[in-house]
Structure 1
Amino acid sequence: MATITTTALLSGCHAFETVCPAIAQVSGVAVTVAADYSPQVKTLHLKACQDGKCKEDTLHLMPGTVAVDQGCTDDARPDGACSATAKPDGTQRGLLELGTLADSAIDVTASGQYANGKPMPTRTLRFEPKASYPFGEQCGRFISAAVVLDAAGLRQDR
């Protein structure tokens, strides 16, 4: 009886290993060109400076999408299959990759060319990246930096 009780008590105090997903994060500044402004933008050049280090490049803009739920085959079954599809949302998205991304302030400057060939006004923004723990604190911190460009200028995304 003593062995069973000791085993039960010790197993209740065991620190189980936490499994974290093996997901790498690209360090950079993500840019979304708003849907109502996107048709006007031909090229977008971005410069980002953080902690005295700067990087700049003309971004490769890709059409943005949103996920559209297509439902599940059988909601009553725990092993039922669910699906979604991507639908264009009218935005354009790009990424300026940085070597590292800290949680200190970032200065971002956007410039470029309109579809009619005229230069876009230069816009700047200083903001703090966001830190989160999407898989719990035991799995490490993710730092993200994202901005939206529209006719009014640059603003931090969510």
Structure 2
Amino acid sequence: MIRRVAGALLASMLLAPAALAASAGKWNSGEVNGFTRYWTTNSSGASFVVWCHPERKVNGTLFHILIDGKTPAPNTRIKLVLDKEILELPVNNQGYIDTGCATCSDSFGYIWHRMRAAHSMAVKFYDQRYAGFSLKGAPEILPGPVCPTDWQKKQPNS
């Protein structure tokens, strides 16, 4: 009996954030512990998540990508393909693509706008894992203003 109650409570906690989420096409958004999360999942279960926290200065704005249930290997690079344009992005020591340096911040802003305008997106990890993602609904879910990057939050008067 206790397991059923605990299971029901856990299920309601997990489903509550989903109930508050917005969806358009293949993209979703929702609030989780002060973060705004923008995400899509493909038919193979791979996910591409953008985490945005307006005030958190470390790992407050980043890309979190899972292919075959795993993030990219730390301290490698990924290839992000938006339409026919290929961008190489560094992976931090936690397996995320963060925005803590000036170049990372600029790349994030550029990618944000490209995700709103492009038609297709794919990610390839250093170990050759690959996933394609739909951008259907991304312009409606990703707002015009870009999330503040970690690098911008560290800079006075920027």
Whether TM-score is above 0.5 comes out as no
Higher helix content, 1 or 2: 2
Larger radius of gyration: 1
Q: Scaled by the length of structure 1, what TM-score is found?
A: 0.31
More strand by share: 1
